[in-house]
Protein backbone atom coordinates (compact mmCIF):
# COMPACT_ATOMS: atom_id res chain seq x y z
CA UNK A 1 0.00 0.00 0.00
CA UNK A 2 1.22 3.45 -0.90
CA UNK A 3 0.14 6.47 1.17
CA UNK A 4 -1.12 9.59 -0.59
CA UNK A 5 -2.03 13.18 0.29
CA UNK A 6 -5.63 12.43 -0.69
CA UNK A 7 -8.78 11.96 1.38
CA UNK A 8 -12.25 10.61 0.73
CA UNK A 9 -14.78 13.21 1.87
CA UNK A 10 -18.47 14.12 1.73
CA UNK A 11 -20.95 16.65 3.03
CA UNK A 12 -23.17 14.94 5.59
CA UNK A 13 -26.94 15.16 5.12
CA UNK A 14 -28.37 18.37 6.63
CA UNK A 15 -24.89 19.90 6.95
CA UNK A 16 -22.87 22.46 5.03
CA UNK A 17 -19.38 21.59 6.22
CA UNK A 18 -17.37 18.91 4.37
CA UNK A 19 -16.22 15.97 6.47
CA UNK A 20 -13.35 13.50 5.92
CA UNK A 21 -14.38 9.87 5.58
CA UNK A 22 -10.93 8.28 5.33
CA UNK A 23 -7.39 8.78 4.10
CA UNK A 24 -6.57 7.36 0.68
CA UNK A 25 -3.93 4.75 -0.12
CA UNK A 26 -3.10 3.07 -3.41
CA UNK A 27 -3.34 -0.73 -3.19
CA UNK A 28 -1.12 -3.21 -5.05
CA UNK A 29 -3.47 -3.19 -8.06
CA UNK A 30 -3.35 0.63 -8.29
CA UNK A 31 -6.85 1.22 -6.87
CA UNK A 32 -7.61 4.01 -4.39
CA UNK A 33 -8.79 2.57 -1.06
CA UNK A 34 -9.56 3.94 2.36
CA UNK A 35 -6.57 3.83 4.70
CA UNK A 36 -8.67 2.46 7.57
CA UNK A 37 -11.77 1.08 5.84
CA UNK A 38 -10.01 -0.56 2.88
CA UNK A 39 -13.02 0.46 0.78
CA UNK A 40 -13.06 2.06 -2.67
CA UNK A 41 -14.96 5.25 -3.47
CA UNK A 42 -17.72 3.14 -5.04
CA UNK A 43 -18.06 1.05 -1.88
CA UNK A 44 -18.17 4.16 0.30
CA UNK A 45 -21.04 5.46 -1.84
CA UNK A 46 -23.24 2.78 -0.25
CA UNK A 47 -22.95 4.57 3.12
CA UNK A 48 -22.10 8.19 2.29
CA UNK A 49 -23.95 10.69 0.10
CA UNK A 50 -21.82 11.53 -2.93
CA UNK A 51 -18.34 10.78 -1.57
CA UNK A 52 -15.47 12.45 -3.39
CA UNK A 53 -11.67 12.46 -3.47
CA UNK A 54 -9.55 15.56 -2.85
CA UNK A 55 -6.04 16.57 -1.94
CA UNK A 56 -5.91 17.18 1.84
CA UNK A 57 -4.84 20.83 1.34
CA UNK A 58 -7.77 21.45 -1.03
CA UNK A 59 -10.13 19.71 1.39
CA UNK A 60 -8.94 21.88 4.30
CA UNK A 61 -9.52 25.02 2.22
CA UNK A 62 -13.08 23.86 1.40
CA UNK A 63 -13.75 23.08 5.05
CA UNK A 64 -12.37 26.42 6.26
CA UNK A 65 -14.44 28.32 3.68
CA UNK A 66 -17.57 26.49 4.84
CA UNK A 67 -16.87 27.33 8.50
CA UNK A 68 -15.81 30.98 7.99
CA UNK A 69 -18.44 33.56 8.95
CA UNK A 70 -18.75 37.32 8.78
CA UNK A 71 -18.70 39.39 11.97
CA UNK A 72 -22.10 39.45 13.68
CA UNK A 73 -23.21 41.80 16.45
CA UNK A 74 -22.81 40.35 19.92
CA UNK A 75 -23.17 41.51 23.51
CA UNK A 76 -20.81 42.61 26.24
CA UNK A 77 -21.94 39.66 28.36
CA UNK A 78 -21.08 37.17 25.60
CA UNK A 79 -17.69 38.85 25.04
CA UNK A 80 -16.79 38.81 28.75
CA UNK A 81 -18.02 35.23 29.16
CA UNK A 82 -15.76 34.07 26.31
CA UNK A 83 -12.86 36.11 27.66
CA UNK A 84 -13.19 34.50 31.09
CA UNK A 85 -13.87 30.96 29.82
CA UNK A 86 -10.28 30.03 28.91
CA UNK A 87 -7.08 32.02 28.55
CA UNK A 88 -7.57 34.20 25.46
CA UNK A 89 -5.36 33.57 22.46
CA UNK A 90 -3.71 36.51 20.67
CA UNK A 91 -5.46 39.25 22.69
CA UNK A 92 -4.68 42.52 20.89
CA UNK A 93 -5.80 46.10 20.37
CA UNK A 94 -5.34 47.54 16.88
CA UNK A 95 -6.90 50.78 15.56
CA UNK A 96 -9.27 50.86 18.53
CA UNK A 97 -10.48 47.28 17.98
CA UNK A 98 -9.78 44.93 20.87
CA UNK A 99 -9.89 41.29 19.82
CA UNK A 100 -8.99 37.81 20.95
CA UNK A 101 -9.42 34.26 19.73
CA UNK A 102 -10.77 31.26 21.58
CA UNK A 103 -7.85 29.00 22.44
CA UNK A 104 -9.91 25.88 21.57
CA UNK A 105 -10.37 25.26 17.86
CA UNK A 106 -13.70 24.42 16.25
CA UNK A 107 -12.04 22.35 13.55
CA UNK A 108 -8.48 22.34 12.27
CA UNK A 109 -7.25 25.94 12.26
CA UNK A 110 -10.71 27.49 12.67
CA UNK A 111 -11.70 29.23 15.90
CA UNK A 112 -14.19 31.73 17.25
CA UNK A 113 -12.99 35.35 17.26
CA UNK A 114 -14.35 38.04 19.58
CA UNK A 115 -13.93 41.77 19.06
CA UNK A 116 -15.11 45.06 20.48
CA UNK A 117 -14.88 48.62 19.26
CA UNK A 118 -16.27 51.29 21.53
CA UNK A 119 -19.58 50.00 22.82
CA UNK A 120 -20.13 47.47 20.02
CA UNK A 121 -19.27 43.78 20.32
CA UNK A 122 -18.73 41.29 17.51
CA UNK A 123 -18.03 37.61 16.99
CA UNK A 124 -17.23 35.45 13.97
CA UNK A 125 -15.39 32.29 12.91
CA UNK A 126 -12.11 32.38 11.02
CA UNK A 127 -8.59 30.95 11.02
CA UNK A 128 -6.56 31.15 14.21
CA UNK A 129 -3.76 32.95 12.37
CA UNK A 130 -5.93 35.86 11.21
CA UNK A 131 -4.00 38.99 12.19
CA UNK A 132 -5.31 41.65 14.56
CA UNK A 133 -5.03 44.09 11.62
CA UNK A 134 -7.30 41.88 9.50
CA UNK A 135 -9.75 41.51 12.39
CA UNK A 136 -9.88 45.29 12.82
CA UNK A 137 -10.49 45.71 9.09
CA UNK A 138 -13.36 43.20 9.16
CA UNK A 139 -14.99 44.95 12.14
CA UNK A 140 -14.56 48.40 10.60
CA UNK A 141 -16.02 47.04 7.34
CA UNK A 142 -19.25 45.87 8.98
CA UNK A 143 -19.56 49.02 11.09
CA UNK A 144 -19.64 51.31 8.03
pLDDT tens for 92-112 read 999 999 999 999 999 999 999
- For residue 1, pLDDT beyond 90: no
Residues 52 and 6 in one domain: yes
Residues 80 and 38 in one domain: no
Distance CA(77)–CA(94), nearest Å, equals 22
Q: What is the pLDDT of residue 144?
A: 80
Residues 89 and 125 in one domain: yes
Distance CA(104)–CA(86), nearest Å, equals 8
User: Which of the pair, 135 or 107, is modelled with greater confidence?
Assistant: 135
pLDDT tens for 41-62 read 999 999 999 999 999 999 999 9
pLDDT tens for 16-38 read 999 999 999 999 999 999 999 99
Output the average pLDDT for the chain: 96
Total number of domains in the chain: 2
Q: What integer is the mean pLDDT of 120-136?
A: 98
E strands, the chain, are 2-10, 19-26, 32-34, 52-55, 72-74, 89-94, 97-101, 110-117, 120-127
Note down the domain range covering 80.
Answer: 72-143
Residues 12 and 48 in one domain: yes
- Is the pTM for the entire model greater than 0.75? yes
Question: Is 6:54 a contact under the CB 8 Å cutoff?
Answer: yes
Residues 134 and 105 in one domain: yes
Residues 52 and 81 in one domain: no
Amino acid sequence: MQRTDLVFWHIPTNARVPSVIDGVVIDNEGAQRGLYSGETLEQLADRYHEPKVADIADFMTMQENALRTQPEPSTEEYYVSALECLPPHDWRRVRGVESFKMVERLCGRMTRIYAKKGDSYWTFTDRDDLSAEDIAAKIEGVMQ
